[in-house]
A and B are shown apart, each in its own frame.
Chain A
Amino acid sequence: MIEAQGLTKRYGDVEAARSVSFRVEKGEVVGILGPNGAGKTTILRMLAGILTPTEGEAKVAGNSASVDALALKRSLGFLSGDTALYQRLTPREVLRYFGRLNDMDERALAARIEQLIDAFQMKDFADRQCGKLSAGQKQRANVARAFLHDPPALILDEPTNALDVVSGRFLLDAIRKERQRGKAILFSTHVLGDAEALCDRVVLLHKGRVLDEGPVPEVIARAHAHTLTDAFLARIGDES
C-alpha cells in the first residue's frame, strides 16, 4: 500500500536519505524509528509527495509521486508535528476546507465532518477558532483533518509530540482503530514504547540508511537485546 523503492534524497554532497526501501501493507502499522537527523521526515515527505526524490520512487495505493502526485495525496492522510492548523479558522472550517481541496462532495463532506466531530469528541470546540484551543484539542482536530477523506493510507510523523498522556493515548487508540479498518499506517516516533506497543513492524533508520527492518521481536533478537530501546541503541552504536 505504502511503498518506498530505493528512495534517495541528495542536497549537493549530502545525502538525507540513501536507497531506502520498505513496504507497509493494508491493516499494518509500521514504525519508522531513528534519532534526530536520521532522515525520517525527509523520507515521509517524499512518500507524501511533498518532496521530490533524487532517486527512487514513492508509491501510495499504486499511485506514484513522480507520475501523479495529486492521486497519491488523495490516497493519503498526512500528519506531523509541523502540520499546524489555521489559527483564525475553527476546526469545522478547517475540515470543510480540506474536504473541498480533496474534491469531496459537499453533502458527503458535511456528514463526514459531523461524524468525525462526534468520533473525536470535538463538539465543545468544533466552532471555536483553532488559536484558542489546547494542544490536545488541536491535535484531535488535526487527526480528524488527516482522516477526513478516509484515505487507505496514513503517514503520521511523530504525532504524539507535545501531547499529554490522555491526548497521546487517544491518538494511539485512533491509530489502532484505523488499522482494524484495514488502513496502511506508517508511523514515526521518538517514543520507542509507543512503537513497541503499536507497530507490527519497525524500520530502524540512521544517517539516511535503513539499519534493520522487521517485526519488533525479530529486530530485538537480531540486536541481542531485551527491548526495542536497547536494540535501537545497539544498532546505532554499531554504526557510530
Chain B
Amino acid sequence: MRPLIVWHIFRKDLLETLRDRRALFTTIVIPLVIYPLLFTFMASMTRSKKEEMEKKQARLAAWGPIPESALRAVLAENAVLVESLAVVPGDAKERARKAVADKAVHVVLVTPQDSQGPSVPISVYADSTQFESEAMGERVLKVLRRAGVQLLEQRMVALGQPAISARPLAVEEVDLADATRRSASLVGTILPYLVIILLASAAFYSAIDLTAGEKERGTLQTLLTAPVQPLEVVSGKYLTVLTMTLIAALANIGSLGLAIGRMLSGVGGGEASFHMGPRVVLALFLTLLPAALLLAALFVAVGVMARTYREGQSYLMPLLFLVIFAAIGSVVPGAELTPAMALVPLTNITLLMHDVLAGRATLALGTMVIISSFAYASLGVLLAARVFETEQVLLSGEKPWKDVFARKAKGGLGPASALFFVAVLVVVAFYGSIPLLRAITREQIGRAIAISEVGFFLVPAVLWVLVLRAPVSDAFQLRLPSRRGLLGAVLLAAGGWAVGLVVMAFLSRYEGAREYSRQLGDLLGKHGPLSLGEAVLLVAVLPALCEEATFRGVVLVGLGRTGSRWLAVVGSALAFGLFHFNPYHIVSATVLGLVLGYAAYESRSLLPGVLMHFVNNAFHMVRARVPALEAPFDSPVVIGLGLLATAAGLWLLRGSGGRPGPTPAPSVARASAVQR
C-alpha cells in the first residue's frame, strides 16, 4: 500500500464530500442550530413551568373529619378549599379520580369517619399522570408531614418533654457529589448515548455516499481503471468517512454539551452547572476516536456492498439499530464499566465516557476500553478491505450483495436465508418459551427440554429446508466423513469435553456464572427431577441431534455458501451461542460452537459435531452425578490430554471433506449481472 496514493484518494474524497452542501448542512449546520434552540426552549419551558407551579394555588377537596390543624396548615401554603364534605362518599377513590380528571381539584384529602385517637389517618389523593396534580400532591404531603411533626412536638411539650424529643433521630442526607458532579453525572448518562448515535449518523451518511453513492454514480469503476490497489481505495475512503464522522461528531458534541450545560444551569437556578475542562475534552476525544474508527470501518464495509444509495440505506439501517442497541449501555440503570464490560464494543465506550464525565474513570479500565476498541476498529478495517477486494462487489450492476455472499440457487440455502432463519428461530424461541415457562413446573423440566429442542430447533429447521426445497442431505450435511475425518471425529468427541471444562473454569471467576451453574446443577443434577438416563437422553442426545441439525446444518451450510470458512464457522457459533440465553452460557456455547462449526465445515458432515456435542453434554451430566469422576477430570494432565485430542481431531478433520466448504453453492445464472 502506497501512503501517497491513499493521501490523494483521501484528499479528493474529502474535497468532494465537503462540497456536498446538503450533506454539510444536514450533518453539521443543522445540529449547531437545532440543539441550542431546542435546549434553550426546553430550559425556558421548564423554568417557567416551575415558577408557575410555585405561584399556583392548589385546589383542594376535604372529605371526612380532617383534623382542623392539618387543614389549616395546608391552606396556609397557597391552597384553597373548593369542596368540603363532612361524610366520606362511598366510592371516594373513584369520585376523587373524576374530580382530578375534570380539573375541579388538584388534590383530595380523605379522613375516614370515626377516626379518633392519637393517630388520625389522612389519605392524599393525587394523580401522578397529571403534572399539576402530582406537584400539588407532593406539596400537600410535605406540609402534612411537617404539621405532623409540629403536632408531636406540641404533645411532647404538653407531657413536659422538650420539643426536640419529637425528633429522636435527626437524620440529614448529604450528597457527596457537588452540584457540578451531579450535573456531570446526569450529562454523562445521556451524552455518551447521544454521542454514539451522532457518530453513527455522521458515519452513515458519508459511508453510503462514498461507497454505494460512488457506485451508483459510476465513479468507482473510473477509479479502478487507475493504477490503484483496492486496499488503497478503501483506506482513502475510510479516512474520509472517519474525518467526516469526527468533524460532525465534534460539532454536534460541542453544540450539545453547551446546550445541555446551559439548560442545566437554567433548571438548577444556577446551582447546577456543567463545565468541560480541557482534560475532560481530551479524555472524551480519546474515547471518541476508537468509536469513530470502528463505526467508520463497519459502515464502509457494509456500505460498499450496496449498489445504490437507497440500497445502502437499507443495508446500513440494521447496523445502525445494532449500534443504538450497544450504545444504550450507558443509560441502563446500574450499568458500570467492569473489566468484562470493557470488552463489549461501543457499550464500553459509552460507559467510559460516562465515567470520564462523572470524574471517576480509572486509567486501567480506560486503557482496556481504548485497546479493545482499537482492536475492533482494526478488524473493521480489515473487513472493509476484504470486501473491497471482492471484484463482484465493486463492479456488478445487479445484485452485488448476493455476488459476495454467493447467490442462493433455486431450491438451495444461502447466507441470507441462514440469517433470516436465525431471526425466525429467535421469534419462535422467544414467543414459544413464554407459554412453555408458564405451563411447565420444575417436575416437568424434561418435557420442557424436549419441547424446546424439537419445537424450537428441529421442526423449524426441517420446515425451513422443505420450504426452500433444499436437498435435505446437503442442508443437514448427512454424509459420512472420510476415514481420516472419522478418526478426527472420534478424537474430537473423546477430548472435546476439555474445551468446555476450560471455558467453564475461566467463567467460574464470575459469581453470575457460578450461580448459573448452581441453578443448572439443581435442575439437572442428581437432586433434580430427572433420572440419569432421562438427563442423558434430554440434555445430550436431543441437543446433539436437534441443535447440530440447526446450527451446523441449516445455518452453517447457508453461511458456508459465501465461500468463507470463517464467516460460516464464526457466524454459526455466534447463533448457537445466542440461543443459550444466559450471558455466561452464551460465552461457553459460542466457544464450543466454534469447534463444532469448524469440524462440520471441514468434514462436510454433521457426524463429528453430533458426536462431540453428545459426549460433551453427557460428560457434564454424568460428572455432576458421579462425584468420583470429578477429581480425575479436574487433573490438568487429563484436561491437557483432552485438549490434545481435540487439537489432533481438528487437524485430522481439516480438509477431510474436500473443498470448497460445505456443499458448494449451485450457482445458476450468477453471472448475468456482469455478463454483458
B227 cross-chain contacts in A, Cβ below 8 A = 69-71, 73-74, 101-103
| A83 adjacent to B218 (CB under 8 Å) | yes
Which listed residue (A69, A70, A86) contacts B16, Cβ 8 A? A86
* 17 pairs, A vs B, C-beta closer than 8 Å: A9-B674, A12-B667, A12-B670, A12-B671, A13-B666, A13-B668, A16-B675, A39-B676, A41-B674, A71-B227, A84-B217, A84-B218, A84-B222, A88-B16, A89-B15, A101-B226, A101-B228
Which has the most chain A C-beta neighbours within 10 Å: B8, B20, B229? B8
The reply to whether the CB of B672 lies closer than 8 angstroms to some CB of chain A is: yes
The reply to whether the CB of A80 lies closer than 8 angstroms to some CB of chain B is: yes
Nearest chain A residue, comparing its CB with the CB of B222: A83
The reply to whether the CB of B12 lies closer than 8 angstroms to some CB of chain A is: yes
Knowing that A11-B392, A14-B667 touch, tell me 20 more A-B residue pairs with CB under 8 angstroms. Answer: A12-B670, A13-B670, A14-B669, A14-B671, A37-B672, A37-B675, A38-B676, A41-B676, A42-B675, A50-B225, A50-B394, A73-B226, A76-B225, A84-B219, A87-B217, A88-B15, A89-B12, A93-B12, A93-B15, A97-B8
Nearest chain B residue, comparing its CB with the CB of A155: B225
Interface set, chain A 70-126, CB cutoff 8 A to B: 70-71, 73-74, 76, 78, 80, 82-89, 93, 97-98, 100-103
A73 cross-chain contacts in B, Cβ below 8 A = 225-227
The reply to whether the CB of B665 lies closer than 8 angstroms to some CB of chain A is: yes
A86 cross-chain contacts in B, Cβ below 8 A = 12, 16, 217, 219
Interface of B is mostly: helix
| B391 adjacent to A51 (CB under 8 Å) | yes
The reply to whether the CB of A10 lies closer than 8 angstroms to some CB of chain B is: yes
Convert A14-57 into 0s and 1s, putting 1 for each residue whose CB lies closer than 8 angstroms to a CB of B: 11110000000000000000001111111001001011100000
Convert A125-150 into 0s and 1s, putting 1 for each residue whose CB lies closer than 8 angstroms to a CB of B: 00001000000000000100110000
| A16 adjacent to B226 (CB under 8 Å) | no
| A82 adjacent to B218 (CB under 8 Å) | yes
The reply to whether the CB of A208 lies closer than 8 angstroms to some CB of chain B is: yes
Interface set, chain B 629-676, CB cutoff 8 A to A: 665-672, 674-676
| B16 adjacent to A89 (CB under 8 Å) | yes
Which listed residue (A50, A74, A76, A208) contacts B395, Cβ 8 A? A50
The reply to whether the CB of B167 lies closer than 8 angstroms to some CB of chain A is: no
B229 cross-chain contacts in A, Cβ below 8 A = 70
| B675 adjacent to A208 (CB under 8 Å) | yes
The reply to whether the CB of B224 lies closer than 8 angstroms to some CB of chain A is: yes
B19 cross-chain contacts in A, Cβ below 8 A = 88, 129
The reply to whether the CB of B338 lies closer than 8 angstroms to some CB of chain A is: no
Convert B376-406 into 0s and 1s, putting 1 for each residue whose CB lies closer than 8 angstroms to a CB of A: 0000000000000001101100000001000
| A11 adjacent to B674 (CB under 8 Å) | yes
Asked, given contacts A50-B395, A82-B221, whether A14 binds B672 with beta carbons under 8 Å apart, the answer is yes
Interface set, chain B 209-231, CB cutoff 8 A to A: 217-219, 221-229
Residues of A within 8 A of B (CB): 9-17, 36-42, 45, 48, 50-52, 69-71, 73-74, 76, 78, 80, 82-89, 93, 97-98, 100-103, 129, 142, 145-146, 208
Closest beta carbon of chain A to B619's beta carbon, Å: 43
Which has the most chain B C-beta neighbours within 10 Å: A40, A48, A84? A84
Which has the most chain A C-beta neighbours within 10 Å: B5, B225, B674? B225
Which listed residue (A14, A80, A101, A102) contacts B221, Cβ 8 A? A80
Nearest chain A residue, comparing its CB with the CB of B19: A88
A220→B232 CA distance, assembly (Å): 47
A208→B671 CA distance, assembly (Å): 12
A225→B666 CA distance, assembly (Å): 42
A189→B9 CA distance, assembly (Å): 31
B218 cross-chain contacts in A, Cβ below 8 A = 82-84
| A37 adjacent to B676 (CB under 8 Å) | yes
Give the contact-size bracket for chain B: 35 or more
| A14 adjacent to B670 (CB under 8 Å) | yes
Closest beta carbon of chain A to B666's beta carbon, Å: 7
Convert B16-37 into 0s and 1s, putting 1 for each residue whose CB lies closer than 8 angstroms to a CB of A: 1001100000000000000000
A91→B526 CA distance, assembly (Å): 80
B12 cross-chain contacts in A, Cβ below 8 A = 86, 89, 93, 97
Interface of A is mostly: mixed
Nearest chain B residue, comparing its CB with the CB of A71: B227
A40→B675 CA distance, assembly (Å): 8
| A100 adjacent to B221 (CB under 8 Å) | no
A149→B672 CA distance, assembly (Å): 34
Which has the most chain A C-beta neighbours within 10 Å: B20, B222, B228, B672? B222
Interface set, chain B 75-124, CB cutoff 8 A to A: none
| A145 adjacent to B222 (CB under 8 Å) | yes
A41 cross-chain contacts in B, Cβ below 8 A = 674, 676
| B221 adjacent to A50 (CB under 8 Å) | yes
A48→B12 CA distance, assembly (Å): 23
| B225 adjacent to A83 (CB under 8 Å) | yes
Closest beta carbon of chain B to A187's beta carbon, Å: 16
| A42 adjacent to B676 (CB under 8 Å) | yes
Closest beta carbon of chain B to A135's beta carbon, Å: 13
| A42 adjacent to B674 (CB under 8 Å) | yes
A98→B222 CA distance, assembly (Å): 10
A69→B389 CA distance, assembly (Å): 14
| A12 adjacent to B219 (CB under 8 Å) | no
| A14 adjacent to B391 (CB under 8 Å) | no
Nearest chain A residue, comparing its CB with the CB of B671: A11
B395 cross-chain contacts in A, Cβ below 8 A = 45, 50-51
A41→B674 CA distance, assembly (Å): 8
A97→B20 CA distance, assembly (Å): 18
A16→B221 CA distance, assembly (Å): 19
Nearest chain B residue, comparing its CB with the CB of A75: B227
Asked, given contacts A11-B674, A14-B672, A83-B218, whether A78 binds B391 with beta carbons under 8 Å apart, the answer is no
> Which 3 residue pairs of A and B lie closest in terms of their CB atoms, listed nearest first?
A12-B667, A11-B671, A84-B218
| B667 adjacent to A11 (CB under 8 Å) | yes
A93→B15 CA distance, assembly (Å): 10
| A12 adjacent to B5 (CB under 8 Å) | no
Which listed residue (A13, A78, A89) contacts B225, Cβ 8 A? A78
